[in-house]
Chains A and B, each alone.
Chain A
Amino acid sequence: DAKTTQPPSMDCAEGRAANLPCNHSTISGNEYVYWYRQIHSQGPQYIIHGLKNNETNEMASLIITEDRKSSTLILPHATLRDTAVYYCIASHGSSNTGKLIFGQGTTLQVKP
């Protein structure tokens, strides 16, 4: 599984967009980019994933560069409840090889 690199911490003002970057320069062609978050000691929560195309759901948007070497998770209107550790993970995603390898993650602090 490809290694990912994220900044250790970021701040965001409440109501503003939070843009969390991730580098995955060694990602293979069949690895997806997943984003999960963990709110203090709770079970990690799935946010979004993508392979090549940009993706959007009710929680966030995922922008993947054309060469797939990096991506950005966008929380369009951050709230205090979005304060969490955000993990960017490259994974094959199938039942046989779908394990998640958690790296350092980015601690996002949303401030009033």
Chain B
Amino acid sequence: AAGVIQSPRHLIKEKRETATLKCYPIPRHDTVYWYQQGPGQDPQFLISFYEKMQSDKGSIPDRFSAQQFSDYHSELNMSSLELGDSALYFCASSPSGYNEQFFGPGTRLTVL
């Protein structure tokens, strides 16, 4: 069965650089969620999209922005990277009216 695809799987950036993380939801899933998991921490909700509109926002820094495109894939753009942005970034998708979220394998971002 198709799963959530995230790219890249690993990313190394320098401080103050920018990064773009991509998420391709399961086909026919119209809702996408982004989560950040720092080292030794639990996942934290960042932002979500439903039918290409932002539906909810969590503890996402102003340096981050995200959008969902017409094909339902989503991108998380991160600017002025800081050391503290080093984390696993998970994307999850779900179809509308359905409670279960399907998570991707994550993108491991390392900021040097």
Contacts and interface: CB of A to CB of B under 8 A. Distances in A.
Interface of A: 32, 34, 38, 41-46, 49, 85, 87, 91, 93-105
B44 A102 contact: yes
Interface string B95-109: 011011111111000
28 contacts: A32-B99, A34-B99, A42-B105, A43-B4, A43-B103, A43-B105, A43-B106, A44-B43, A44-B92, A46-B100, A49-B100, A93-B99, A94-B97, A95-B30, A95-B50, A95-B55, A96-B55, A98-B31, A98-B94, A98-B101, A99-B45, A99-B48, A100-B35, A100-B43, A100-B45, A100-B101, A102-B35, A104-B42
Interface residues of B, number: 29
Interface of B: 4, 30-31, 33, 35, 42-45, 48, 50-51, 55-56, 58, 88, 90, 92, 94, 96-97, 99-106
A95 B101 contact: no
Contacts, number: 69
Given A95-B30, A95-B50, A105-B42, A44 B103 contact: yes
A46 B92 CA distance: 11
B106 to A, nearest CB: 6
Contacts of A32: 99
